[in-house]
């Protein structure tokens, strides 16, 4: 995300659920960084071991596409939310895969 996002006070960040992704091999250090990110106002997403950072780095390209390619500006961000479970199936539900 753009540096300008880090200049915002905690309230806008919390209100919009701005996600920040944290990966690292030292679990204790990762927890500390997550706590610091949450104090700043971010919604920290524990992305696990450092090897997972290569998956997260692709989000940087996507954010740049949104900011520049879609002309959304430097305050465009990503928010990861977990939705509640659907009360029933409307579209047939998830089927078991037959792939081998």
pLDDT tens readout for residues 31-87: 999 999 999 999 999 999 999 999 999 999 999 999 999 999 999 999 999 889 888
> pLDDT confidence of 27, banded at 50, 70, 90?
very high
pLDDT > 80? residue 92: no
Task: Answer yes or no: are the C-beta atoms of 34 and 19 closer than 8 Å.
Answer: no
Lowest mean pLDDT across 19-28, 31-40, 78-87, 91-100: 91-100
17: left (phi over 0), alpha (psi -120 to 50) or beta: left
Q: Return the domain boundaries, the chain.
A: 3-69
Report the C-alpha gap between 40 and 38 in whole angstroms: 5
Q: Tell me the whole-structure pTM to 2 decimals.
A: 0.80
List Cα–Cα distances, 61 to 3, 30, 64, in angstroms.
15, 23, 5
SS3 74: coil
Residue 75: per-residue pLDDT? 95
Q: Phi, psi (5° rounding) for residue 74?
A: -70, -10
């Amino acid at each position: 995300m753009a540096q300008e996002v880090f200049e915002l006070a905690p309230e806008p960040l919390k209100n919009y659920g701005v996600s920040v992704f944290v990966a690292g091999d030292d679990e204790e250090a990762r927890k500390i960084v997550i706590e610091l990110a949450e104090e700043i106002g971010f919604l920290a997403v524990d992305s696990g071991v450092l090897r997972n950072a290569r998956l997260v780095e692709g989000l940087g390209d996507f954010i740049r596409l949104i900011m520049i390619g879609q002309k959304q500006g430097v305050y465009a961000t990503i928010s990861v939310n977990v939705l509640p479970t659907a009360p029933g199936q409307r579209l047939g539900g998830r089927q078991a895969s037959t792939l081998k």
